[in-house]
């Protein structure tokens, strides 16, 4: 997205790229400060990679009822909602499965090459194993359960950050966290133009496919970017809860638009995990999506536009 009337700030956050765009360039500093504060709070609350995070302390205290902060409660409730909406295709109890595949630190620190791993297919504990009381903000996880909120947590951060920046500036804001995009406030004329690509770090270029949104969010999930090799075996970060292993999906990328970035992320991740069933699942729910198969063929679902620079509606999930 390139336009002289918008203010743009690029940075790194939560192990990936971050971009903040505002419709009022003079408010960019205030918007970025608001976004940075949300990122700081979500990182200390819900990161699996920080020993001092609230989530790490929770994971280290199995079989004990723990009271958590409102933000971590929100993140856990969001993760459990994603599991319920997808019948467990998106499951927050994949933490141990990610650790044994080598994703045991912030992705920027994951070694691209390493020794062979002995991976055994084993269903993850399942989201129903988490005992969560939303009213009391208490959580109990059984021994052997490791909660990971990396997917929905990042999307939640994008939604919260965009809303906070819009409140701080009174203008329109777009926040992108590693390709999880949320917008808030008044959109620019014609909406927010978003380039569709497998890698959020891809340079913005004229001629690439773009879509436009005025509200809600867009998320892309895929198996081609966050990859690493152990003993010559290529692994990635999207786990199939049924096996506890990186999913073997017919889709290499799924992009979904929804009323929030969280819902878009839940649906895009679920599409990768569901495989052949994803097309019908997305269509029944009225979600606009763009799926790319292993051969690079593009499949459009619902109201996803066939032509570039077309507008997408924010759909309730």
pLDDT higher than 70, residue 164? yes
Which range, of 117-121, 155-159, 178-182, averages the lowest pLDDT?
Answer: 117-121
Which range, of 37-46, 172-181, 202-211, averages the lowest pLDDT?
Answer: 202-211
- Give residue-wise pLDDT tens across range 138-151: 999 999 999 999 88
Token pair of 81, please? 């909602």
What CA–CA distance (Å, rounded) separates 304 from 264? Answer: 13
Asked if 157 and 181 touch (Cβ cutoff 8 Å), the reply is: no
pLDDT higher than 80, residue 307? no
Q: Which residue has the higher pLDDT, 49 or 21?
A: 21
Mean pLDDT score of the chain, rounded to an integer?
Answer: 87
The total domain count for the chain is: 1
Which residue segment(s) compose the domain that 94 sits in? 1-317
Token pair of 241, please? 């809860």
Angle at 296 between CA 293 and CA 297, to 5 degrees: 70
pLDDT (average), residues 26-52: 95
- pLDDT-based confidence at residue 137 (cuts at 50, 70, 90): very high
Model confidence pTM above 0.85: yes
| CATH code of residue 186 | 3.10.520.10
- At 4 the pLDDT is 44
Asked if 269 and 221 touch (Cβ cutoff 8 Å), the reply is: yes
- Give residue-wise pLDDT tens across range 187-220: 999 899 988 876 655 556 555 678 999 999 999 9
- At 315 the pLDDT is 62
Q: Which residue has the higher pLDDT, 229 or 174?
A: 174
């Amino acid at each position: 997205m390139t336009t002289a009337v918008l203010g743009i700030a690029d940075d790194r956050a939560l192990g990936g790229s971050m971009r903040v765009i505002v419709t009022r360039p003079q408010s960019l500093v205030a918007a970025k400060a608001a976004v940075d504060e949300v990122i700081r709070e979500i990182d200390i609350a819900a990161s699996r990679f920080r020993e001092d995070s609230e989530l790490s302390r929770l994971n280290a205290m199995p079989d004990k009822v723990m009271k958590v902060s409102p933000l971590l409660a929100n993140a856990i409730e969001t993760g459990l909602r994603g599991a319920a909406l997808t019948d467990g295709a998106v499951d927050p109890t994949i933490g141990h499965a990610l650790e044994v595949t080598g994703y045991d630190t912030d992705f920027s620190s994951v070694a691209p090459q390493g020794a062979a791993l002995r991976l055994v297919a084993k269903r993850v504990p399942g989201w129903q194993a988490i005992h969560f009381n939303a009213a009391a903000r208490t959580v109990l996880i059984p021994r052997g359960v490791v909660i990971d909120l990396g997917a929905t947590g990042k999307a939640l951060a994008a939604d919260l950050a965009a809303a906070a920046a819009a409140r701080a500036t009174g203008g329109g804001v777009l926040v992108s966290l590693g390709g999880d995009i949320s917008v808030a406030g008044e959109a620019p004329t014609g909406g927010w133009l978003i380039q569709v690509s497998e890698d959020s770090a891809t340079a913005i270029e004229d001629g690439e496919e773009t879509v436009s949104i005025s509200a809600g969010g867009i998320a892309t999930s895929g198996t081609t970017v966050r990859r690493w090799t152990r003993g010559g075996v290529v692994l990635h970060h999207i786990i199939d809860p049924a096996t506890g292993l990186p999913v073997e999906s017919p889709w290499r990328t799924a992009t979904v638009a929804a009323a929030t970035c969280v819902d878009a992320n839940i649906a895009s991740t679920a599409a990768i995990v569901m495989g052949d069933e994803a097309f019908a699942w997305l269509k029944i729910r009225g979600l606009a999506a763009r799926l790319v198969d292993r051969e690079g063929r593009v499949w459009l679902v619902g109201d996803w536009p066939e032509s570039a620079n077309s507008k997408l509606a924010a759909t309730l999930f």
